[in-house]
Amino acid sequence: MIPAAFDYRRPRSLDEALAALAESDGSAKVIAGGMSILPLMKLRLASPDSLIDIGRLDDLKGVRRMDDGRLAVGALTTYAELLESPARHYGLLRDALPQIGDLQVRNRGTVGGAIAHADPASDLPACLLALDVELVARSVRGERTIPIAGFFEGAFTTGLREDELLTEIRLPGGRDDAGSAYVSLQNPASGYAIVGVAAVVFGAAGGGIAGAAVALTGVADAAYRATAVEAALAGSDGSPAALAAAAEHAADGQTVNGDIHADRDYRSRMAVVYTRRAIETALARLSA
């Protein structure tokens, strides 16, 4: 439980942090809230030469409304702060955030850390995939925006480059024709998702469903959009039979995980059940 020796740097500005990251040439790790990286280091599953502590960079904190109506969430915003922000407007975030970890984890764990870490059982990646957010990354080479679709490449692997910091997460503006929900089957010990499903449903003018965004976590190597479910929902009448039929496609095209908590068959079945529940709840909120 004692990590290997490492250097520690605490930059006072974003530029200083980016320069330190570039200089380290891949041998340094960023630490934000430390909720994932510290346990890994203590177990010696990670042994970076140095830690660059970005935890006090005020530029990366807080939630602001952009001119185009979107919400820009600083990467260092904690789960607890996000829940108190205008982002609580999204039903799926109101569902997901209070059940992540415990109070300490929600007070320390950051949105940027959760995404950059890309744990395959983490709750937030599914929510942000369903919201189709845009990510902002910075390095000494400049800034780029990254659509979240395709960002989670595998277990603990993302499209972030070695010298990049995630700085901001941009949530779409609210829509009156949308309802959303997040439901999960939790590992009772850790709270991590055995299966977690985030759904956003868009209503059609004459009733029924115009379109949907559905994302799953805990099921495969990385959180993913269930495109076959979305295709089955688009243009459907939103009846219980239509929702159940769409949910059957929850794990289409995925290699489903099996482990001591849930074997592959059980997890596949739960993916269907929880997908149906997420869509039902999102649709009910749309009609409410």
Ligand X SMILES: Cc1cc2nc3c(=O)[nH]c(=O)nc-3n(C[C@H](O)[C@H](O)[C@H](O)COP(=O)(O)OP(=O)(O)OC[C@H]3O[C@@H](n4cnc5c(N)ncnc54)[C@H](O)[C@@H]3O)c2cc1C
Tell which one of 71, 82, 131, 166 touches ligand X (CB under 6 A): 166
Q: Sheet containing 224-225: give its strands across.
A: 178-186, 193-203, 209-217, 224-225
Q: Which amino acid is at 72?
A: A
Q: How far is the CB of 150 from ligand X (least distance, A)?
A: 17
Distances in Å between the Cα of 153 and the Cα atoms of 73, 159, 204 are 22, 7, 33
Residue 114 touches ligand X, criterion: CB under 6 A: yes
How far apart CA 285 and CA 180 sit, in angstroms, is: 7
Q: Applying CB under 6 A, which of residues 18, 20, 32, 282 lies at the interface with ligand X?
A: 32
Least separation in angstroms between residue 75's CB and ligand X is: 4
CA distance 123 to 64: 23
Closer Cβ to ligand X, 216 or 286, answer by number: 216
Contact window for ligand X (CB under 6 A) among 119-127, 173-181, 241-249, 254-262: 119-127
How many chain residues bind ligand X (CB under 6 A)?
A: 31
In the bound state with ligand X, the residue whose beta carbon lies nearer, of 105 and 228, is: 105
Stretch of 9-17, 174-182, 185-193, 277-285 lying at the interface with ligand X (CB under 6 A) = 185-193
Binder among 80, 165, 223, 247 for ligand X (CB under 6 A): 165
Report if residue 128 touches ligand X, rule: CB under 6 A.
no
Pairing of strands 28-31, 50-53: parallel
Cβ 287 vs Cβ 179: under 8 Å: yes
Nearest CB to ligand X, comparing residues 192 and 202? 192
CA nearest to 125, candidates 137, 136, 113: 113
Token pair for 18: 């980016």
Of residues 198 through 227, those in contact with ligand X by CB under 6 A are none
190 counts as binding ligand X under rule CB under 6 A: yes
Q: Specify the residue, 104 or 287, whose C-beta has the smaller distance to ligand X.
A: 104
Nearer to ligand X, 32 or 200 (CB): 32
Residue ranges that bind ligand X, judged by CB under 6 A: 29-37, 39, 75, 100-101, 105, 108-110, 112-114, 116-117, 122-124, 160, 165-166, 190-192
